[in-house]
Structure 1
Amino acid sequence: MAQSEQLQQGERGTPPVDAVVSRMRVLAAELPARDGVAVFNRVYLSVIEDTDRQSDNGRSPDRRAASTLDVRFAERYLAAVDAVTEGRRPPACWRPLFAFRRHPGVRPLQFALAGVHAHVGHDLALAVVDACRAHDCEPAELEGEFDRVADLLTALEERVREELMPGPDLLRIADPLTHLLGAWSLERARDATWAAARALWVLRHLPDLATEFTDRLDAAVGFAGRMMLTPLPA
């Protein structure tokens, strides 16, 4: 059974959100620190753990309901990892990160933001549809959950920039890096993702069109991700 299937069912009764965190911790321990996937995984995991601690401290009114979209969302990233591990092709949105994960000319900040881009630009829209199917509800009923996950992504992006942006002594690197990544906006990506999720929900009764829409979304996100991972001079 694939790891992502185990997560959906929970591992030996473990709550799904805890199974997700456990799997990401295993990846963090297994992958070399400089590996591009490890860079994204490390920052993503730290934000999820912080959010989970806040839920445990009672700041989330319904932890079980709040975790649904989080889990569906994270599972899509972990499914991409599984695909590569098993010799299968991951979604197009994730292929640039896996292809360039060991390239010496790509900076950790690029790896991390390319992961965020793939995750929000493609995975989040599909996760919203997954959650709607699970709860038999319309996307509008999950808009609050979507906004909460988007807030988590904002925290993730802020942590990425805070921890991985080169300091003032590395402006020779930071200048082209800032130029390369400055065109990407999480806010615009978030708006586009919500529109894509609603469109996919409308298209659910037209499977051929839904598949075509999903494939084009995946390809477009992957193309932009490849640009974000342009190697920079040392």
Structure 2
Amino acid sequence: MAAENIDDVIAGLAEIVARAVQTGDRVGYFAALYRQVTVEVRRAIHEGRFDDGPRMDRFDTHFGNRYFEAHAAWRRDRSGPRCWRETFGLLPDGDTVIVAHLILGVNAHIGLDLAVAAARTSPGAEIQALRRDFLLINDILARVVLAVQAAVGDVSPLLWLLDQVGGRGDEQILDFSIRRSREEAWHNAVLLAGQDDAGREATIERMDVRAAVLARLIARPGGLVRPALELIRATESHDVPAVITHLDHAMEQPAA
């Protein structure tokens, strides 16, 4: 599908989530997170929180279409960007924990697609005018991520082990991943916005390769993370439709 506005993006994500619930497809994990973020971005647009609401609608539409294109390419013939092939290729793997599927989606969509969408929305010198609205999305992401990570904790009770072995104390795992990825995405967006076609192609290729390498590291970590993931996997829910449904309603859950 090709979205024409943010409403289409939300409808498309809802369709992917609904199909995933019916089929037990783990693609619904990240799609549920992404749908809720997009709903909150649309709310912020309607509330006038962005400097340029129509521009953010276009931005979100470009961003969403990158995901839809990658998803369609994978379903069609297992093609698409390298980082998305790594991500979608792990969906049938019952040994990959829920939070890893979410981080893999974040890595591909923000590590590759976000900068491309930003540069397409605001090419050349226009990219600098996008910065404040780009950064404002961090606040929206943080709110949704806290809710989704709490929802993951409901179905993955030993998730806290990753904080312990990662040495980050109480820092939220998903929020940590997203914020770091978005910092690099802004740098790449500025770079892409000022390049010619050949330069952009080379930069996008480099971004894709890097995100694919990170995906492999996320999927197959070493050190103390590996035994922690084995414990997490052994105790978390394996009812994929139920997990997707729970994650997709994370923003409706009362705050702890």
Aligned counterpart for 1:145 among listed residues 115, 126, 133:
133
Partner Cα distance (1:106, 1:142) in 2: 36
Partner Cα distance (1:105, 1:229) in 2: 10
Corresponding letter in the other structure for 1:139: I
Give the alignment of 1:62-211 within 5 angstroms.
63-133=53-123, 138-165=126-153, 170-171=157-158, 174-175=160-161, 179=165, 185-204=177-196, 207-211=197-201
Normalised TM-score (structure 2): 0.73
**Which residue matches 2:40?**
50
**147-156 vs 217-226, which deviates more?**
147-156
Aligned length: 217
- Give the superposition deviation at 1:164: 0.9
**99-108 vs 84-93, which deviates more?**
84-93
What per-residue deviation string (whole Å, max 9, x for no partner) do you get for residues 69-123 of structure 1? 1111121111111111222512112122210012111111111121112111111
Partner Cα distance (1:213, 1:54) in 2: 31
What per-residue deviation string (whole Å, max 9, x for no partner) do you get for residues 115-173 of structure 1? 1121111111101111024xx75210111221133333333432332211367x943x6
**Which residue matches 1:13?**
none
Normalised TM-score (structure 1): 0.79
Partner Cα distance (1:203, 1:84) in 2: 29
Q: Unaligned 5+ residue runs, structure 1?
A: 11-15
Corresponding letter in the other structure for 2:20: L
Partner Cα distance (2:12, 2:164) in 1: 32
**Which residue matches 1:221?**
211
Q: Residues 90 and 57 of structure 1: is their aligned pair in 2 closer, same or farther, counting only changes over 3 Å?
A: same
Q: Residues 176 and 50 of structure 1: is their aligned pair in 2 closer, same or farther, counting only changes over 3 Å?
A: closer
- Give the superposition deviation at 1:209: 3.1
- Give the superposition deviation at 1:202: 2.2
3-state secondary structure, aligned to 1:120: helix
Corresponding letter in the other structure for 2:161: D
- Give the superposition deviation at 1:62: 5.1
Is this contact kept in 2: 1:70–1:149, CA < 8 A?
no
Corresponding letter in the other structure for 1:199: L
3-state secondary structure, aligned to 2:82: coil
User: Cα RMSD between the aligned structures?
Assistant: 2.8
Partner Cα distance (1:177, 1:105) in 2: 20
Partner Cα distance (1:19, 1:228) in 2: 31
Is this contact kept in 1: 2:107–2:211, CA < 8 A?
yes
Is this contact kept in 2: 1:109–1:164, CA < 8 A?
yes
Partner Cα distance (2:10, 2:91) in 1: 22
Q: Unaligned 5+ residue runs, structure 2?
A: 167-171, 221-225, 235-256
Partner Cα distance (1:141, 1:60) in 2: 11
**28-37 vs 138-147, which deviates more?**
28-37
Partner Cα distance (1:192, 1:53) in 2: 26
3-state secondary structure, aligned to 1:138: helix
